[in-house]
């Protein structure tokens, strides 16, 4: 029986990988740059080199397989990335098969937010539940849905695009074609945009806005209240739809929790009968930037377990 | 191996029940009144009598069990109805156990819209898919989510309250405490309310508004466009969340399909990247008022099948 797995988290500028034991212990890890400009073959080289390095350090153990979390939509059956803003050179490239062929071990591809949700379910804040939703709050907002212990993929693997739930029907325009998407009203980018609209300062980062809020700036605090209400409206819908026991959020903007959570919770409370009547926890994810690696590593382990069930 | 099952659809004023074979053939059926005002014991009597009657007509066959679809939230683990507007005398009453004790056969309780969704999956418009969403358009709007072939229940059984997805954040108030719920903008009741706001006539039913639309009344047609856009906004969100292959609608108001569907489809198209990029079907359910009976009957059969898998 294989006793460890390798998870890879492929971002726009770097690559994180780790060997994780079947019971969830971090065995080995490494970070590397990805040379996207050099084309997909170079990215595959980088991934394969990272995995080979980790495998070398785990000699004596038996590898279950490799999971790779990537930003963007994934066509699950084909193992290709489509429509990734962060990895355009990989768009449509058969990355799963390319890595698998080089390694001779099973490779599974997963959307990064889905992988993070699965990681939180396996070893993080969701380890005691079978059903949860994760919102990843960053420059955009990603989502992952875990239902009956597994990632909910939908038809072709595009489920869980929770950043594109519309919370303001005719709100800010979004690159997806819709208006008022959650990620245009509650992401770090949205916070920066609101700071600009309020003329709080030029080129302020979400962190700058947070620092102003800490210092007592009322306009900066209003931004987090606005962001909290948008998140609350989206969460109320998700709670009414799923009635799951747990809704998690992750990302650097969680530092501002005390400034947005009260508005978020108030919004959820009045908008969701289910929230008021069924035990529902809204909380911070706990694995931070490692959630995606844990989830990616769990993919081949979970596949093995369900095959032997 | 049991070869048939009995499904019951319990409404506010009547009770429909049918014996259905394990391969989905309608064997026997009956309709009866329910005497809600006489209290829960009387309702249990009516249900038991209907089931005994059907069982008598199916002698020689082996019964898998009984499924009962009811309006309202269900606490699945306890088998009780909570918060049903249509069956207040049954609120909190242990109806599942009461019927089971009298019959000596397994009884399963399910929300009526969930049962209808399962019925459509088993023998209706969704028989070729594993994942679908059903919206039941009536005086209110109910929802049922079928994921991996099964009803998605959530934590305590309250999942799928799709009539309470907010499509107009500060829109019409709803009894659930929220504002702008889908069912306050797209149900038959909402159509009647819009007709009243437009002074189309006094006490017009949704059917009356439809008849006016057919005759070319522009204001009546605007009502269906408005309703279609509200449904489209909700469906776009559901498609972005689930990426399921099939979204069904049922209810008498489907007669007005040609008047609301173009607006619905246009709304979904611009709001959902997933709709534009992954094959997605939005269609009419086909089992009509029988969907709930089919789904209820399927519950014990599905439980048996998964137990022997």
Give me the total of CB pairs closer than 8 Å, taking one residue from chain A and one from chain B.
141
Query: How is the beta sheet containing B4-10 ordered, strand by strand?
Result: B26-33, B14-21, B4-10, B63-70, B107-111
Whether residues B87 and B152 share a domain: the answer is no
Lowest mean pLDDT segment, chosen from A59-73, A76-90, B174-188: A76-90
Whether residues B278 and B148 share a domain: the answer is yes
Domain boundaries, position B153: 129-285
Whether residues A230 and A201 share a domain: the answer is yes
Greatest Cα pair distance in chain B: 60
- Tell me the mean pLDDT in the region B216-238: 98
At B14, which helix (H) or strand (E)? strand B14-21
Question: Quick one: pLDDT at residue A304?
Answer: 92
- Tell me the mean pLDDT in the region B193-217: 96
**Chain B, 261-280: which have a CB under 8 Å from a chain A CB?**
270-274, 276-280
Q: At what angle do helices B257-271 and B218-242 cross, to 10 degrees?
A: 40
Whether residues A158 and A268 share a domain: the answer is yes
The rounded percent of chain B whose pLDDT value lies above 70 is 99
- Cα–Cα dist B184/B193, whole Å: 9
For B73, the 3-state DSSP assignment is strand
Whether residues A103 and A149 share a domain: the answer is no
ipTM at complex level: 0.92
Question: Quick one: pLDDT at residue B77?
Answer: 85
- Cα–Cα dist A120/A153, whole Å: 17
Question: Quick one: pLDDT at residue B34?
Answer: 82
CA-based end-to-end distance of chain B: 14
Does B176 have pLDDT greater than 70?
Answer: yes
Tokens of A240: 């009414």
- Cα–Cα dist B203/A15, whole Å: 65
- Cα–Cα dist B272/B275, whole Å: 5
| Cβ neighbours, 10 Å, residue B197 | 10
Domain containing A78 — which CATH number?
3.30.420.40
A238 close contact with B: CB closer than 8 A: yes
The string of pLDDT tens digits covering residues B242-295 is: 999 999 999 999 999 999 999 999 999 999 999 999 999 999 999 999 999 999
Chain A nearest-CA residue for B178: A271
- Cα–Cα dist B202/B192, whole Å: 10
Partners of A161 on chain B (C-beta within 8 Å) are 240-241, 243, 273-274
From the list B224, B179, B234, the residue with the least C-alpha distance to B198 is: B224
Which letter does DSSP use for residue A186 in this model? H
From the list A22, A21, A49, the residue with the least C-alpha distance to A35 is: A49
Q: How many CA atoms lie within 13 A of B158 on its CB side?
A: 25
**Chain A, 38-57: which have a CB under 8 Å from a chain B CB?**
none
Quick check: A101 and A41 in contact, CB under 8 A?
Answer: no
Which letter does DSSP use for residue B141 in this model? E
Question: Quick one: pLDDT at residue A204?
Answer: 96
- Cα–Cα dist A8/A6, whole Å: 7
Whether residues A138 and A281 share a domain: the answer is yes
Lowest mean pLDDT segment, chosen from A57-61, A157-161, A258-262, B71-75: B71-75
Whether residues A143 and A106 share a domain: the answer is no
Residue B122, domain member (yes or no): no
CA pseudo-torsion sign B41, B44, B50, B53: negative
Chain B nearest-CA residue for A240: B161
Residue B33, domain member (yes or no): yes
Residue B86, domain member (yes or no): yes
| String of DSSP letters for B222-273 | HHHHHHHHHHHHHHHHHHHHH--SEEEEESGGGGGHHHHHHHHHHHHHHH-H
**Which has more confidence, A83 or A249?**
A249
Which letter does DSSP use for residue B138 in this model? S
The string of pLDDT tens digits covering residues B62-85 is: 999 999 999 888 888 888 888 777
Tell which phi-psi region holds residue A199, choosing left (phi > 0), alpha (psi between -120 and 50) or beta: left
Strand bridging mode B14-21 / B26-33: antiparallel
- Cα–Cα dist B91/A44, whole Å: 60
- Residue B130 phi/psi, 5-degree rounding, is -100, -15
The string of pLDDT tens digits covering residues B16-68 is: 999 999 999 999 999 998 877 788 899 999 999 999 999 999 999 999 999 99
| String of DSSP letters for A201-246 | -TT--HHHHHHHHHTT-HHHHHHHHHHHHHHHHHHHHHHHHH--SE
- Tell me the mean pLDDT in the region A213-235: 98
| Cβ neighbours, 10 Å, residue B60 | 5
CA pseudo-torsion sign A256, A259, A265, A270: negative
The string of pLDDT tens digits covering residues B151-160 is: 999 998 899 9
Q: Which of A111, A166, A245, A277 to mutate to test the interface with B (most CBs of B within 10 A)?
A: A166
Residue B124, domain member (yes or no): no
From the list B265, B229, B260, B262, the residue with the least C-alpha distance to B247 is: B265
Residue A122, domain member (yes or no): no
C-alpha angle B166-B172-B177 in degrees, rounded to nearest 5: 65
Q: How confident is the model at residue A305 (pLDDT cuts 50, 70, 90)?
A: confident
Does A39 have pLDDT greater than 90?
Answer: no
Question: Quick one: pLDDT at residue B75?
Answer: 84
Question: Quick one: pLDDT at residue B39?
Answer: 85
- Cα–Cα dist A248/A136, whole Å: 8
Partners of B277 on chain A (C-beta within 8 Å) are 73, 82-83, 158
Q: Which of A154, A166, A242 sits opposite B233 (nearest CB)?
A: A166
Question: Number of folded domains in chain A?
Answer: 2
| Cβ neighbours, 10 Å, residue A28 | 16
Chain B nearest-CA residue for A152: B242
From the list A278, A141, A144, the residue with the least C-alpha distance to B160 is: A278
Q: Which of A80, A135, A158 to mutate to test the interface with B (most CBs of B within 10 A)?
A: A158
Residue A123, domain member (yes or no): no
Q: Report chain B's mean pLDDT, rounded to a whole number.
A: 94
| Cβ neighbours, 10 Å, residue A203 | 8
Beta strand extents in A126-208 (DSSP E only): 132-137, 141-147, 150-151
B128 close contact with A: CB closer than 8 A: no
The CA R_g of chain B, rounded to the nearest whole Å, is 20
Whether residues B172 and B293 share a domain: the answer is no
Does A309 have pLDDT greater than 70?
Answer: no
User: Any idea how long chain A is?
Assistant: 309
| Cβ neighbours, 10 Å, residue A216 | 8
Whether residues A135 and A278 share a domain: the answer is yes
Whether residues B224 and B107 share a domain: the answer is no
Whether residues A106 and A27 share a domain: the answer is yes
Q: Report chain A's mean pLDDT, rounded to a whole number.
A: 94
The rounded percent of chain A whose pLDDT value lies above 70 is 99
The rounded percent of chain A whose pLDDT value lies above 90 is 84
Residue A49, domain member (yes or no): yes
The string of pLDDT tens digits covering residues A127-138 is: 999 999 999 999
Does B145 have pLDDT greater than 90?
Answer: yes
Q: Do A271 and B177 touch (CB under 8 A)?
A: yes
Going by C-beta distance under 8 Å and a sequence separation of 6 or more, which residues neighbour residue B245? A155, B129, B131, B132, B279, B280, B281
Question: Quick one: pLDDT at residue B309?
Answer: 64
What's the pTM value of the predicted model, to 2 decimals? 0.94
Whether residues B193 and B304 share a domain: the answer is no
Residue B10, domain member (yes or no): yes
Strand bridging mode A141-147 / A132-137: antiparallel
A241 close contact with B: CB closer than 8 A: yes
- Tell me the mean pLDDT in the region A220-229: 98
């Amino acid at each position: 029986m294989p006793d460890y797995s390798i998870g890879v988290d492929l971002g726009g500028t770097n690559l994180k990988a780790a060997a994780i034991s079947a019971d969830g212990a971090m065995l080995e890890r490494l970070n590397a740059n990805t040379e996207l400009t050099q084309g997909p073959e170079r990215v595959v080289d980088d991934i394969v080199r990272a995995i080979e390095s980790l495998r070398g350090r785990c000699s004596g153990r038996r590898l279950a397989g490799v999971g790779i979390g990537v930003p963007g939509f994934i066509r699950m059956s084909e193992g290709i990335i489509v429509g990734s803003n962060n990895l355009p050179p990989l768009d449509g490239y058969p990355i799963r098969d390319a890595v698998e062929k080089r390694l001779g071990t099973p490779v599974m591809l997963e959307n990064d937010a889905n992988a993070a949700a699965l990681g939180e379910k396996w070893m993080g804040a969701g380890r005691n539940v079978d059903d949860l939703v994760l919102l990843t709050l960053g420059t955009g907002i990603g989502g992952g849905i875990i239902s009956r212990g597994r990632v909910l993929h939908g038809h072709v693997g595009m489920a869980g695009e929770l950043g594109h739930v519309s919370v303001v029907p005719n709100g800010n325009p979004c690159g997806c074609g819709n208006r008022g998407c959650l990620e245009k009203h509650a992401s770090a980018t949205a916070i920066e945009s609101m700071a600009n609209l309020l003329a709080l300062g030029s080129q302020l980062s979400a962190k700058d806005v947070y620092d102003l809020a800490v210092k007592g700036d009322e306009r900066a605090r209003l931004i987090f209240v606005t962001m909290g209400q948008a998140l609350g409206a989206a969460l109320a819908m998700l709670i009414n739809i799923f009635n799951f026991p747990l809704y998690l959020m992750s990302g650097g903007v969680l530092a501002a929790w005390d400034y947005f959570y009260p508005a978020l919770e108030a919004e959820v409370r009045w908008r969701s009968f289910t929230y008021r009547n069924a035990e529902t926890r809204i909380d911070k994810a706990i694995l931070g930037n490692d959630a995606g690696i844990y989830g990616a590593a769990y993919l081949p382990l979970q596949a093995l377990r369900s095959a032997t069930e």
